[in-house]
Amino acid sequence: MKLKIVILSALALATLQAGFIKEGMEAKEGGDHQKLVEIYEKACNEGKASGCYNLGVLYEEGSGNVVKDVKKAIGLYEKACKADFSSACYNLGVLYIKGVDVKQDINRAKELYEKACKADDDIACNSLGLLYANGSGVAQDYQKASELYSRACQSGNLYACNNLGFLYNEGRGVDRDYKKASEHYQKACNGGLAMGCDNLGLLHASGKGVAKDYKKAAQLHEKACQNGYEKGCNNLGILYAEGRGVELNQDRARELFKQSCEKGLQVGCENGRLLDSPHVKP
């Protein structure tokens, strides 16, 4: 997971911090990471939670010429989280999930996600929803997951919109409703989430919740594929192999299956082999 230095979030802090923000931006733009460390360390020591958080990100990533030190990052995230800086709580929760330089503790991660989510951190709400949906460290509860996804989706989290769409598609924690599933997939797709486009394409191919339209399905799978989503490439390959929504083209199908296979999708590898089987005729 790529972490980002939070500069803009500090705008909500007291105006006295303006110098710290300006200096940090200048040092970051100049690529002077050691200077960044000094600036954030000073801000952190002065009680500015965003300074502790940003310093933690530098140490966790080992950005530029800063030596990676996850244990130091953990301490800084802890300090920022205690000061109610939600992004620090979330990042700390991720480390507890992964068990990186700290003993894996999903229950502790859950507590941290909950704290961040209560502070309207949409990423934390979505991550907490995933714990409930998967039953990871908590009793599996799809209804709770749907509530958390809904909250995060309303805040603009595209992954949460897609995840909520999946629950409506499967009827887990909510009544099965393909129309609502399509609406949430559409929202995710409109925001640029390839997975959402691919899932919406599957609904158009099956005619569930939307008009059955293979051409539309092909367009959506292609959009997903072009944005690096291997399942979109595989699903588009199937349409080319069958001539649905696109002109029958097994060479193109073969390319797409190979593309998805090279990205690690096993079913793409299998479809490629099946297409080359002597039992399959153009």
Give residue-wise pLDDT tens across range 159-171: 999 999 999 999 9
pLDDT above 60 for 281? no
What is the average pLDDT across 86-109?
95
Long-range contacts of 106-113 (CB under 8 A, 24+ apart): 106/131, 106/136, 106/137, 106/138, 107/137, 107/138, 109/137, 110/137, 110/138, 112/81, 113/89
In this prediction, residue 16 carries a pLDDT of 36
pLDDT above 50 for 235? yes
- Cα separation, 172 vs 134, in Å, equals 12
pLDDT above 80 for 9? no
- Cα separation, 209 vs 254, in Å, equals 30
pLDDT above 60 for 3? no
In this prediction, residue 36 carries a pLDDT of 82
User: Is the Cβ–Cβ distance between 67 and 73 less than 8 Å?
Assistant: no
What is the average pLDDT across 121-135?
97
User: Is the Cβ–Cβ distance between 39 and 62 less than 8 Å?
Assistant: no
User: Which of 48-62, 80-94, 145-159, 257-271 has the weakest average pLDDT?
Assistant: 48-62
Quick one: what percent of the chain has pLDDT higher than 70?
A: 87
pLDDT above 50 for 2? no
pLDDT tier at 140, thresholds 50, 70, 90: very high
- Record the pTM: 0.86
Which one has a higher pLDDT value, 213 or 23?
Answer: 213
Q: For Cα atoms 23, 29, 32, give the angle at the middle one, nearest 5 degrees.
A: 75
Domains of the chain: 1-118 (1.25.40.10), 120-191 (1.25.40.10), 197-282 (1.25.40.10)
User: Which of 11-15, 72-76, 198-202, 250-254 has the weakest average pLDDT?
Assistant: 11-15
pLDDT tier at 228, thresholds 50, 70, 90: very high
Residues 6+ apart with CB under 8 A from 139: none
pLDDT tier at 14, thresholds 50, 70, 90: very low
In this prediction, residue 276 carries a pLDDT of 87
pLDDT above 90 for 24? no
Mean pLDDT for the chain?
89
